[in-house]
Chains A and B, each alone.
Chain A
């Protein structure tokens, strides 16, 4: 059922929170998402049903059939080989030209906005020119492009020409090791291929590319005249580079126009030769007309603008180079076209509802989009195909409310179609109209998880302040500062015709301050993940007399890693300017066009954002250390370090299950053995700060306070030794145990079915990946004990009997086909092993027990 807040009293008034749609009250919570989804037209309903999602979970693509395409790799390689000897920026332009003139263009049923970036709607393109490690990652995966030999050959060809190969020589091996650690700094973009951009969409929509080509031609003409001026002055040598850049811009823009028009032709051919529905035929001819005109010409209506924006997005984010994000101030960007079509009805006349449908189509286009991110980035964005975040609201450049009916159409579409992407940032300002703010909160109320709300004025002030550090004294003006949008997930940046951020090496990245604090406590040594020295030696904190000494050590570690991160960015950027030029992006930036500079070289508005991830954890820890160790002296640094090193990996440190093997010749003196064991358990759980989980009596009892009593199983064995094995067992996995009394005829198949069913029923509850213990035979209690004992066997060691080992293997395979995956996020690894123990049984009984162990399977034995 939908949850509604209880009424509250505020300033003497009772404020109620009724459910807007009373029907929601009767809908189960797990179904509410689909009930709230109401794509506004049959078209967007179908588009959503047929969306080819590219979401990832636990590093894997969720939907069947998603894989890397070979086409872009192949085409850029052919162009690179053919263009040897030409200036590199021209080679980049020719690369884009070759891709756009020879790639497959796609048209999907029902769409109003066309264009995709790979040869199959389920595939994603590869960028072998970025990071050779990232390409290797794909080649080794089940998403590898085919034919595999050709893909490998292409990857080998590019290795020396990649951005990664260009940057690595400027670092020592040690530094690269530190930079590639996944949890200290965001790895350099030359290694992971990750990137972000804010395309200057405005120039494309306002000018059209033909006008940009004409501008570049004028610049070339003027530059050539200047070159020929008398007397010669060597200062003019820089004009040669500029001419190359403008030339590259022209090549790129012409290629983009030709590519857009290939879409126009495809729509026309499909309309005339394939489509039988007269209404869709009309639509296709309309889309053909749009793609023929834009982005070559200025956009005149909302359909033009949306299509030109999508084409521009694809080139900037997915074809010329990969870049994450969906940065734009969308309502400001599209308002003139919304006004022309919906309000003035001067071009592509439509209703507000038509506009909403178009925005729904846009959201589905984004949901269908796939990014060839490395595994690390697929893992850290679970549930998403990439980061797509657009901004709306706030004030316009004149300080007036930027919210319009176009803003509302964007929000209504998000609310109707209910897709996770693109996410939305609402720029909050008191002047923003109430109607729009209400829609913002309706989206949040409906559980979309967005819009996030950012403070318009603070971010505008930040733009102005940062603009003061512009390298060419051309940072944000007060008007431009009002028009900011999120660059990727957090940092604000300018939008508009120039001064937008063109690459992630210009700004925006992450620093993991909590991990850096952890290694500070160990003199720069990372004991918990990599087991190696990663930071500089800043001393053993147990020798520090004051908090200030610890703070100074931490400061040095932070300085070390932030310098490494920024150096990696700056070197990336330098190399991007040498061999990863972006002539199309340059052509649509007024600054690059004016100066004849490449987009990877010109940076007008600085962005120093370096997100300190988990800062709160680091700061809370520092505050606690200062208070408890240095000020109140409640604990010592020795105790902290000891506790840190031996930290459990789950809060549930379980019941202490003890297995005793007692030699029959052993004599225990000086007390009762079980008391000694319980005393040891109490000391371990108390001194080690482990959670105490035992309650007695079991129905309504109290916590024993020291995790006793232990559960002790004793076996008398020959000899004169005592072996004690401790196997702490958490409640979450234990609760998923099952015992079944099968019929003796059930056989191996029956056992397999019973075990797989138990694991399936357990789902994510036992914290997969799990170890599955199985007991077969004996009686009711014996098979349960067998199942538990089987968990003590070293992981993956097969049962000595061949047929049982084969059964273990078969069951493991079946479990891993369930798709539950690590922590239930989906994937191929639900269980790490299946261990079976067996015992004789009664002829009429066939007991089978399943005891599940979570992935924190820690056992320890000692023999006395």
Chain B
């Protein structure tokens, strides 16, 4: 099974952040609509099941 923490869009939340929780991260995605590019961040847990996520791209290396 694939997990969010293995995804290229997953960025772990640093320990000194106000919203730090072990294994929690930001899912940061670049998006585009007819008005241009934008980026969105949503909190996700690293051990979330990513197998059905269309955005999942496995990170290469660590």
* Residues on A facing B (Cβ under 8 Å): 46, 50-52, 64-65, 101-102, 104-110, 119-122, 254, 257-258, 261-262, 265-266, 269-270, 273-274
Contact = CB atoms under 8 A, between A and B. Distances in A.
A257 B38 contact: no
Given A108-B36, A108-B38, 4 more contacts: A109-B37, A121-B35, A121-B38, A262-B41
A269 B18 contact: no
B15 interface: no
B40 A119 contact: yes
Contacts of A101: 19, 43
B53 interface: no
Contacts of B1: none
B42 A104 contact: yes
Interface of B: 11, 13-14, 17-19, 26, 28, 30, 33-43
Contacts of A50: 35-36
Contact of A106 (B17, B34, B39): B39
A342 to B, nearest CB: 30
A100 to B, nearest CB: 9
A289 B8 CA distance: 24
B39 A274 contact: yes
B38 A265 contact: no
Contacts, number: 73
Contacts of B38: 106-109, 121
A54 B43 CA distance: 27
B32 to A, nearest CB: 9
A252 to B, nearest CB: 13
Q: Which of A102, A110, A258, A265 neighbours the largest number of chain B CB atoms within 10 Å of its CB?
A: A265
6 contacts: A50-B36, A102-B43, A121-B33, A262-B19, A262-B26, A266-B41
Contacts of A262: 19, 26, 41
Contacts of B11: 265, 269, 273
Contacts of B14: 265
A107 B35 contact: no
B39 A270 contact: yes
A121 B28 CA distance: 15
B33 A122 contact: yes
A274 B30 contact: yes
B40 A265 contact: no
Contact of B13 (A52, A105, A265, A273): A265
Given A50-B35, A262-B19, A269 B28 contact: yes
Nearest to B27: A104
B29 to A, nearest CB: 10
Given A269-B11, A269-B28, A270-B28, A258 B33 contact: no
B21 to A, nearest CB: 10
Given A104-B42, A266-B28, A269-B28, A261 B17 contact: yes
Contacts of A108: 36-38
A121 B32 CA distance: 10
A119 to B, nearest CB: 7
Nearest to B24: A101
Contacts of A51: 35
B43 A52 contact: no
A163 B55 CA distance: 39
Given A101-B19, A254-B18, A258-B19, A265 B39 contact: no
Contacts of B36: 46, 50, 108-110
Contact of B39 (A52, A110, A254, A266): A266
Contacts of A65: 33-34
Nearest to B42: A104
Given A121-B33, A265-B17, A106 B43 contact: no
Contacts of A109: 36-38
A566 to B, nearest CB: 43
A109 B33 CA distance: 11
A191 to B, nearest CB: 34
A102 B34 CA distance: 26
Given A121-B33, A257-B18, A262-B19, A107 B43 contact: no
Contacts of A52: 33, 35
A257 B14 CA distance: 15
B41 A265 contact: yes
A363 to B, nearest CB: 17
A65 B31 CA distance: 15
A101 B13 CA distance: 12
B58 to A, nearest CB: 16
A351 B42 CA distance: 36
A345 to B, nearest CB: 32
Contact of B41 (A105, A110, A257): A105
B59 to A, nearest CB: 11
Contacts of A110: 36
A120 B35 CA distance: 12
Given A265-B13, A269-B26, A107 B39 contact: yes
Q: Which of B19, B26, B42, B43 neighbours the largest number of chain A CB atoms within 10 Å of its CB?
A: B19
Nearest to A105: B41
